[in-house]
Amino acid sequence: MAVSHSLLAFQQRFPDEAHCAQFLLERRWPDGFVCPGCGGKRGHLLRSRAYTYECVACGKQTSVTAGTVMHRTKLPLTVWFWAAHLMATHSNGMSAQQLMGQLGLGSYKTAWLLAQKLRRSMVDPEREPLKGVVEIDQSEMPFRADETFFEITKSGKMLVIGAVEIVDHTTKKPQEPKRFGAKYLDTMSGRVRLAAIPSNEATHIHAFIKANIAPGTTLVSDGHASYLGLADYRHDPRVVGSMAGHVPLKWIHRVFALLKRWSLGTDLRRQHIDSYLNEFVFRYNRRFYRHVSFETVLGLATRHGPVAYWDIIERKNPRKASPTIRRQPRHRKTASGFRQDGARTSNAADPSSGDEPGTTE
Ligand SMILES: [Zn+2]
């Protein structure tokens, strides 16, 4: 697979671990190191642990990757940066297979986890409910079942509900509601919301509407019975009859068509449907901007906590069954020599500090 020009330029900007770490350092402490434990401003860069600072005052160790998706990773920072750049600039996102090819990653599992972790940062931060006139409908999405982690053998279908604002083509403002059945002309699609639902029963549909659409909104639907009974909304059903469904519900059908086309290029799996839908919505609602910032994808903007492998695949970590029992305290290398777990540094400024010295955050 050809490596894009933009990726090469990005790789020249972040050619190695040191450049990536320096970027994270400046992003985290624009005015120089500040200890998150005691506020101390003097820190040593540890030689024993990569890109980790130890506070001179309290001994707390803080990594430049703390609080980001890259924390405690075995992958080089360059791989994270380059992958985030690809996910951010590719107009349809990147599948694990594509990441693997572009970055020359050794295994599909590595690429898949990388993509999945980066995808978690792509959640729409402005969760303002949709309003005005909204088209709403449901569609079946094909997905690849993954009982076995890597083999894609089975496929199934799941139900996705979607809603999209109808906005004015010129002003991009929400439409004023018209009389029932009236045509909305010169429109385009505004913001979209999607969710996977277990069935098209009224409970699930009502919950989706209440969570995503402001009360008072006009709902243009195909007249499915499950949309009825919502007192706070104005329901404008379009009886489809012999007409093709995409005529009265043009915009939401276009969204579903795009979603299906995109899902064919990714490895959509049932238990991760929510993060895929989030990524689609995130991109769709930003489609007029050129691209998403790689910093957003790295989680630097919103400070997503680190996500563990076992959380992503939603299984219990078999190694976490019982806590590790240590016969002897661990010895850790610090800037000022070795130290045992739980031991206090001699120069600790505040012995009552709740943070255990020497712990990395
Ligand atoms: Zn400190």
CA 345 from centre of chain: 39
Interval between CA 13 and ligand 1 midpoint (Å): 32
**pLDDT reading at 354 higher than 50:** no
**pLDDT reading at 346 higher than 50:** no
Amino acid at 46: L
Interval between CA 331 and ligand 1 midpoint (Å): 20
For 181-198, the pLDDT digits (tens) are 888 888 899 999 999 998
CA 190 from centre of chain: 21
Give me the half-sphere count of Cα atoms (radius 13 Å) on the Cβ side of residue 349. 13
For 334-343, the pLDDT digits (tens) are 555 555 555 4
For 56-84, the pLDDT digits (tens) are 999 999 998 887 888 888 899 999 999 99
Interval between CA 91 and ligand 1 midpoint (Å): 43
Interval between CA 19 and ligand 1 midpoint (Å): 25
**pLDDT reading at 19 higher than 60:** yes
**pLDDT reading at 242 higher than 80:** no
Q: Which residue has the higher pLDDT, 290 or 81?
A: 81
Interval between CA 86 and ligand 1 midpoint (Å): 37
pLDDT of residue 229: 83
pLDDT of residue 151: 40
**pLDDT reading at 305 higher than 60:** no
Interval between CA 165 and ligand 1 midpoint (Å): 50
Token pair of 144, please? 């690849």
pLDDT of residue 262: 82
Interval between CA 353 and ligand 1 midpoint (Å): 9
Query: From CA 247, how far away is CA 240, in angstroms rounded?
Result: 8
